[in-house]
Amino acid sequence: MEVSAPALHAALNGLTVLERGWLSSNNIVIHGAPGEAGAVLVDSGHVVHAEQTVALVRRALRGEPLARIVNTHLHSDHCGGNAALQRAFGAPIVVPPGNADAVARWDTVRLTHATTGQRSERFTHAGTLAAGENFIAGGRRWDALAAPGHDPFSLMLFDAAHGVLLSADALWENGFGVVFPEIDGEPGFDDVGAVFDAIERLPVQVVIPGHGEPFTDVAAALARSRSRLAMFRSQPERHARHAAKVMIKYHVMEERRIAHGVLLSWAAGTPFLQASWQRFGALHSESPMAWCAHFVDELVSAGVLARDGALVLDR
């Protein structure tokens, strides 16, 4: 849906938030101020929604040029509309510098699209935005802040003058994104905690997360997320199970409906889930397929997915 941002908080005047559930990230249109070249779009959703994204952005722009697209990070749900938007508007794309070479070579393993078994469409980038740098859009200065943990190269964008934080997947109202480095055996939980501390020190009035509606009770969101992080730190296997279920649900959202056997074959052949099973599931199940079959059953029991005979359906 298109969120009327000023109705939520006065600091969001001049912004349009395009929110569409969880397959696509939020897309934030920062409308240009007088003297600027046009609007800036932050993140572009999933490739499955690319045509819809172009239509929604066009409607939000109301004839205003799209001057630039900025990606907070390059998971497939945040950059999947890039190519379609480039074709439609000719807007240059700016990415975190840690992703620039992978984009130029279109290395889908380094971009994690191949390792997580997710779809993407190649695009080209025109420049980078690093932590510590800033840009002007909508008459506001947006500072790029490092937000590693969910993704090593992820950024947040902060407008200090108005207290507006675009938090990407570093902080949602009720949680945060999967800490992918931890699944790969690399540290990530400490980075997530450090980002929470950094957010707490900022004069934030309103957060536009990567998924979900904007929110203002930042202290409560941080408390919930810190509690969740503490649980995952103490039980890394629980985080791995959570991550596996997220990946399975995400793939079913991509497909809408998929044969149960096809879904399990996809899961067993996905490098991310294979590695997760080897580190966390091999003692409890005989194969990645059996491990993931258990998670499908749990997701159906929880009402997150549905079964119709041999088919698994999104809900």
Q: How far apart are CA 124 and CA 142, in angstroms?
A: 23
Q: How far apart are CA 64 and CA 7, in angstroms?
A: 21
Q: How far apart are CA 1 and CA 17, in angstroms?
A: 8
What are the tokens at 230?
A: 């503490």
Q: How far apart are CA 203 and CA 49, in angstroms?
A: 34
How does strand 134-137 pair with strand 39-42?
A: unpaired
pTM: 0.95
Question: Measured between alpha carbons, how far apart are the two ends of the chain, in Å?
Answer: 18
Tokens 């859009």 — which residue?
Answer: 137
Contact status, residue 121 vs residue 50, Cβ threshold 8 Å: yes
Tell me, what's the pLDDT at 3? 55
Q: Which of 172, 145, 135 is nearest to 30 (CA)?
A: 135
How does strand 93-95 pair with strand 127-128?
A: parallel
Residue 172 main-chain phi, psi, to 5 deg: -110, 175
- Polymer length in residues for the chain: 315
Q: What's the average pLDDT block by block, 10 residues per block, for the chain (315 residues)?
A: 65 95 95 97 97 97 98 98 98 98 98 95 98 98 98 98 98 98 94 98 98 97 98 97 97 97 96 95 90 97 97 97
Residue 135 main-chain phi, psi, to 5 deg: -145, 160
Strand partners, 168: 209
Tell me, what's the pLDDT at 283? 84
What are the tokens at 75?
A: 């998971």
Cα 71 to Cα 269, 270, 295: the distances in Å are 29, 25, 31
